[in-house]
């Protein structure tokens, strides 16, 4: 839609009533008004018609060139403006197309406003009057990319501060403005975010003619009596609220933008832009505005003068409990602590110290000398001198120290031998020891396997099966016990780190290491138990089951019955071994957990399968949760893994008080007969391997 389709706006109030979306449509605008403020370098132009003030956008784009060739403007000129509506960065304004100076007109009287009026944002672009106390005054460059400078005032309006920028400040006496009460006329300009949200207000003033001193700065401010530091913010009928006060004291520390001083009552932080160097012990007189600091009073926008030099102040030796109490805030203290760390952050070099169970930081200004503090050995006992600064976090008090140079640090004692690096070395030795134990276990297992191999030289297939079992055991021990040892080492290391600052957490880490050691013991026991049973060396599976029952029931009240159904035949070694282990685990669970007195084992040979059933008369359990084996033990989960290795189905039936029954059925594809080496007859496949593949994988026993 064309802009000419919209009605023409003829006063500033109509423009300001537009929403941002409406202003973006580009309504035609024609205004006549008087220039309030015109800054060609900043691009600011504000005029006022009968309805109020309005910001004009794009004025400086036409200065000195086409189109328009607008001349510089001055307050009091009366102009005719043509343009279109624009959403602006905060409130709607006018984008300039043509401007004609038609004469001069008196600037209307400014309307008095409060800080609350300015903070609302409704005074954007309006000609206003404010009255307040000047806290600071300086000639400053406002934007880094512009060379123009302004008189910048920090003005207090009833306790709230705003910034005032005076464009023409010729003839100003900057030193006479702080602590003076002034009134001024200017244009309210909002400071906004990229989301068009107001966050601050600035008043721009055309010249010093618009600023009037109502109550001048007190004459000879330094000549009056000094207030004691502890009297600030106490009730006094003679106080001048909002004005500067005078204090005097001895310098404790100077840092960029702040000086800490102390009189015979207490210490205080003085915030100042004055950069004259002072030394600890110098006597200062300070003029500043009292303000509430993060914990105790401070003086802001202060100036000072040196009265005399003096001896270096002596620090107060305090504990961490005393420092965090707040009684030594802003005061010079001396503390001992173990060095934990050194790092650099935000232009400072920071030492991290520990005393008892309390950790605190010591801040140094960044310099080549203070960077050398990073060479101090961790674990050293240090004595540090600095100003104590209380920090509040959700009403929790902590503190930090502010120091000046390496001279504020004394090494009382180098690191003791038993420190974290040495503890880690001992831990490494323990790890090597356990690795040696692991080697012995693996060596013994290998010797046992080799002994079986020499005894079982009956067929090449037997050697292949045992050799695979030996390799599986070595890999399993490597993957479980070694990882467990690494985990134990990490838990012990975490426990050592937390032993002093957090004994409870350290105990939790040590308990976790003990649990991991117990679990590793069970892993080793299970892996060794997985070696082929000697019961199957010279016996078939039914005989091995019968021998197992007699062995476990001998000299006990336990009765174990073994029943064999169907025609007995030899099965692959892997099948017999896993079924024997499942029986052992089922009997062990029935006795240990089920408190069984009678156990019935049934082995049934079918044409296409073999099935195993173990039934007991114990106390039973909830079979719905059978897969959740106890942490650190194997039990039913181990049976499930063995059945899965055979491609077999396993079922568990049990209920509290009704005993338990474990059923495993191993299928044999196509009714194939099985040889003792675990392969099938010609061209048959069992569990994913053909007979030809099995033979190609065999080799002569060593």
Give the tokens for residue 571: 């099965």
Give per-residue pLDDT as tens, 265-283: 999 999 999 999 999 999 9
Give the tokens for residue 258: 């702040």
Give per-residue pLDDT as tens, 601-659: 999 999 888 999 999 988 888 777 654 444 434 567 778 888 888 888 888 888 888 88
Asked whether the beta carbons of 337 and 385 are under 8 A apart, the reply is no
pTM score of the predicted model: 0.58
Q: Domain 540-667, CATH 3.20.20.140 — does that match? A: no
Element (H, E) at 338: strand 332-345
Give per-residue pLDDT as tens, 209-267: 999 999 999 888 888 899 999 999 887 777 778 899 999 999 999 999 999 999 999 99
d(CA 590, CA 560): 11
Q: Domain 316-413, CATH 2.40.50.140 — does that match? A: yes
Amino acid 196: pLDDT = 79
Amino acid 348: pLDDT = 94
Give the tokens for residue 13: 């109030």
**Most confident listed range (36-45, 309-318, 409-418, 570-579):** 309-318
66-75, 182-191, 527-536: least confidently modelled range: 527-536
Give the tokens for residue 405: 């140079």
Amino acid 43: pLDDT = 83
Can you point out the beta strands (E) in 577-682?
Answer: 598-605, 609-616, 649-654, 660-667
Can you point out the beta strands (E) in 40-126?
Answer: 44-49, 52-57, 77-86, 93-104, 111-112
Q: Which residues are registered as beta bridge partners of 293?
A: none
d(CA 263, CA 229): 7
Q: Does residue 419 register a pLDDT over 80? A: no
CATH number for the domain whose boundaries are 3-104 = 2.40.50.140
Give the mean pLDDT of the chain. 82
Give per-residue pLDDT as tens, 548-579: 777 777 646 788 888 999 888 888 888 888 88
Which architecture characterizes domain 111-215 according to CATH?
Beta Barrel (2.40)
d(CA 536, CA 531): 11
Q: Does residue 3 register a pLDDT over 70? A: no
Amino acid 640: pLDDT = 85
Sequence-distant (6+) residues with CB within 8 A of 649 are 643, 664, 665
Percentage of the chain beyond pLDDT 90 is 49
The DSSP symbol for 320 reads: H
Q: Which residues are registered as beta bridge partners of 361?
A: 352
Q: Is 637 helix (H, G, I), strand (E, B) or coil?
A: helix
Backbone angles phi, psi at 205, to 5 degrees: -120, 130
The answer for 566, left when phi > 0, alpha when psi is -120 to 50, beta otherwise, is left
Q: Domain 221-231+242-308, CATH 3.40.50.720 — does that match? A: no
Give the tokens for residue 48: 């006022």
CA distances 361 to 243, 342, 352, Å, are 36, 9, 5
Amino acid 623: pLDDT = 72
CA distances 500 to 69, 254, 496, Å, are 76, 35, 8
Closest CA to 566 of 601, 582, 547, 542: 542
Q: Does residue 537 register a pLDDT over 90? A: no
Q: Does residue 178 register a pLDDT over 70? A: yes
Give the tokens for residue 6: 């919209």
Q: Does residue 327 register a pLDDT over 90? A: yes
Q: Is 688 helix (H, G, I), strand (E, B) or coil?
A: coil
Residue 483's pLDDT band (boundaries 50, 70, 90)? very low
Sequence-distant (6+) residues with CB within 8 A of 293 are 269
Cα 122-125-127 angle, rounded to 5 deg = 100
Sequence-distant (6+) residues with CB within 8 A of 361 are 350, 351, 352, 353, 400, 401
């Amino acid at each position: 839609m064309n802009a000419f389709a919209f009605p023409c706006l003829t006063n500033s109030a109509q423009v300001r009533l537009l929403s941002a979306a409406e202003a973006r449509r580009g309504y035609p605008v024609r205004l006549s008004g008087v220039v309030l403020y015109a800054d060609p370098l900043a691009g600011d132009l504000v005029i006022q018609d009968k309805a109020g003030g309005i910001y004009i956008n794009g004025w400086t784009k036409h200065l000195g060139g086409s189109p328009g060739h607008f001349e510089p403007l001055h307050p009091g000129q009366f102009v005719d403006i043509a343009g279109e509506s624009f959403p602006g960065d905060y409130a709607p304004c006018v984008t300039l197309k043509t401007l004609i100076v038609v004469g001069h007109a008196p600037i209307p009287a400014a309307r008095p406003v409060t800080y609350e009026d300015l903070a609302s944002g409704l005074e954007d672009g309006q000609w206003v009057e404010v009255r307040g106390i000047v806290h600071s005054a300086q000639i400053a460059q406002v934007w880094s990319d512009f060379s123009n400078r302004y008189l910048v005032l920090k003005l207090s309006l009833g306790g709230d501060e705003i910034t005032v920028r005076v464009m023409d400040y010729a003839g100003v006496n900057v030193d006479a403005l702080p602590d003076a009460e002034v009134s001024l006329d200017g244009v309210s300009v909002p400071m906004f975010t990229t989301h068009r949200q107001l966050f601050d207000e600035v008043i721009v003033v055309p010249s010093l003619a618009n600023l009037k001193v109502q109550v001048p700065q007190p004459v000879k401010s330094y000549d009056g009596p000094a207030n004691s530091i502890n009297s600030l913010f106490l009730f006094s009928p003679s106080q001048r609220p909002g004005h500067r006060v005078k204090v005097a004291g001895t310098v404790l520390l100077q840092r960029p933008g702040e000086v800490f001083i102390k009189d015979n009552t207490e210490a205080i932080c003085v915030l100042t832009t004055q950069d004259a160097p002072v030394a600890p012990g110098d006597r200062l007189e300070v003029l500043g505005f009292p303000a509430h600091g993060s914990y105790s009073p401070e003086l802001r926008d202060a100036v000072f003068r040196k009265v005399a030099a003096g001896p270096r102040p002596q620090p107060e030796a305090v504990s961490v409990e005393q420092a965090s109490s707040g009684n030594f805030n802003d005061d010079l203290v001396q503390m001992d602590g173990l060095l934990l760390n050194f790092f650099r952050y935000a232009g400072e070099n920071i030492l991290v110290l520990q005393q008892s169970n309390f950790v605190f930081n010591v801040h140094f200004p960044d310099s080549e000398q203070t960077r050398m503090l990073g060479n101090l050995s961790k674990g050293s006992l240090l004595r540090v001198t600095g100003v104590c600064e209380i920090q509040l976090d959700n009403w929790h008090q902590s503190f930090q120290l502010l120091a000046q140079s390496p001279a504020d640090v004394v090494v009382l004692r180098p690191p003791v031998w038993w420190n974290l690096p040495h503890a880690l070395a001992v831990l490494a030795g323990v790890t090597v020891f356990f690795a040696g134990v692991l080697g012995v276990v693996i060596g013994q297992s290998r010797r046992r396997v080799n002994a079986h191999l020499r005894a079982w030289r009956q067929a090449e297939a037997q050697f292949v099966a045992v050799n695979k079992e030996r390799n599986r055991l070595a890999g399993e021990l490597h993957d479980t016990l070694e990882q467990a040892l690494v985990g134990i080492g990490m838990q012990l290391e975490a426990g050592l780190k937390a032993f002093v600052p957090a004994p409870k957490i350290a105990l939790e880490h040590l308990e976790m290491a003990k649990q991991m050691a117990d679990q590793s013991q069970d892993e080793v026991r299970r892996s060794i138990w997985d070696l082929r049973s000697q019961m199957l060396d010279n016996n078939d599976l039914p005989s091995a089951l019968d021998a197992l029952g007699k062995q476990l029931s001998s000299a006990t009240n336990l009765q174990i019955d073994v029943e064999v159904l169907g025609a007995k035949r030899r099965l692959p070694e892997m099948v017999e071994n896993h079924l024997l282990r499942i029986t052992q685990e089922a009997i062990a669970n029935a006795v240990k957990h089920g408190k069984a007195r009678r156990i019935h084992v049934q082995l049934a040979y079918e044409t296409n399968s073999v099935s195993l059933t173990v039934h007991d008369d114990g106390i039973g359990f909830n079979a719905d949760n059978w897969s959740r084996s106890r942490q650190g033990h194997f039990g039913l989960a181990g049976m499930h893994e063995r059945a899965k290795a055979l491609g077999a189905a396993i079922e568990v039936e049990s209920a509290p008080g009704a005993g338990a029954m474990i059923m495993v059925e191993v299928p044999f594809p196509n009714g194939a007969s099985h040889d003792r080496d675990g392969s099938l007859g010609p061209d048959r496949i069992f569990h994913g391997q053909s007979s030809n593949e099995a033979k190609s994988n065999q080799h002569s026993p060593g």
